Structure 1
C-alpha cells in the first residue's frame, strides 16, 4: 500500500516555438515512470524515489521527480530484490507505477497547457446523437462522453 507521495522537482520545457508547425502535424507523446532509488526504512516500509517523464520528441519535455512510501509486510524483501535486479514483483510494480502515473499525469496536463503543448492524454470528446436528415437529436439526459 502506498502511504505518501511527494514531488521533489518539476521541470517542463518547450523546445519548439509556439506557432511552429510540427512535421506532418503529428506529435508522438511518450510516458515513462522509473524507480530511481529504494531504501528500507523499516521491515514493513520502503522509501522509493521515482522519475516520471512525458516526452514530446523535439517539441518539449515534462519531468517530475518525487518520492513515495510503500507499506507492506514484504518491504524488506522488496528492497533487497530491487537492489539486486532493479526489478519488483508485478503486482507491487503495478501499484507503484499506477500511483506515480495517477499523481503525475494531471500535473503534466496542467504544465502542457501552460507551455501550449498537446495534452499528454486524450481529453474527453462530447458527441451528440444525429437524427436522420443531419440534424442533432434532442438530448434529454445529456451528451455522451468518449
Structure 2
C-alpha cells in the first residue's frame, strides 16, 4: 500500500459531542504485467463539520490467487463500477485498517478527535456476581497507573 495524497483540515475547534464517519471508496482498478493496482480514497468526516481527513492511495496486488484474478476479470468485463463482493470486502478492510491508523496520527496533528472510538476501561462493580477473584500473586501490588 502506498499513500499518494494526505489531507487533514480543521475548520473550527471541536466542542461537545463530535461524531466521525469513516468511508473508503475504490476509484480505479488497473493491471500491468503481473501487478493489479487498486486506487482508493479514504475519508473521515466529522459531524458537526469541524474537520475532514482525506487519504488517497494505491494497493498493489501481486502473486494473486485465481479467485482474485476472476474477480478482476469480472470487474473489467462489467461496467467498471461493480466490484465482486469478496474482492471488495478484502480491499475495503485493508484500506480501512491501514488508513485509520494514519488518520489517527493526522487528527492528532491538527487537534481533531481521533477517527475511532477511544477504548474505555470499565472498573468492575463491587456488587458484581461474576466478579473474578484477584490472583493471589498480585494482591499486595499497587496499580501501575498513577
Scaled by the length of structure 1, the TM-score of the pair is 0.75
Structure 2 gap ranges (5+) = none
* Structure possessing the higher radius of gyration over alpha carbons: 2
1:65 is matched with 56
| Contact 2:24 2:95 (C-alpha < 8 Å) held by counterparts | yes
| Contact 2:75 2:82 (C-alpha < 8 Å) held by counterparts | no
Secondary structure of 1:29's counterpart equals strand
CA RMSD of aligned residues (A): 2.5
Following superposition, the deviation at residue 80 of structure 1 comes to 0.4
Following superposition, the deviation at residue 72 of structure 1 comes to 3.6
Counterpart Cα distance in 1 of 2:77 and 2:17: 41
Secondary structure of 1:69's counterpart equals strand
Secondary structure of 2:7's counterpart equals strand
1:47-101 alpha-carbon deviations (Å, 9 max, x no partner): 111100001142000000100113343265044046x241111111000000000
Residues 139/8 of structure 1: CA separation in 2 closer, same or farther (3 Å cut):
farther
1:50 is matched with 40
| Contact 1:40 1:79 (C-alpha < 8 Å) held by counterparts | no
More strand by proportion, 1 or 2?
A: 1
2:30 is matched with 39
Structure 1 gap ranges (5+) = none
Following superposition, the deviation at residue 130 of structure 1 comes to 3.0
2:8 is matched with 12
Residues 87/72 of structure 1: CA separation in 2 closer, same or farther (3 Å cut):
farther
Moved over 3 A (4+): 137-141
The alignment of Structure 1 onto Structure 2 pairs a total of residues equal to 127
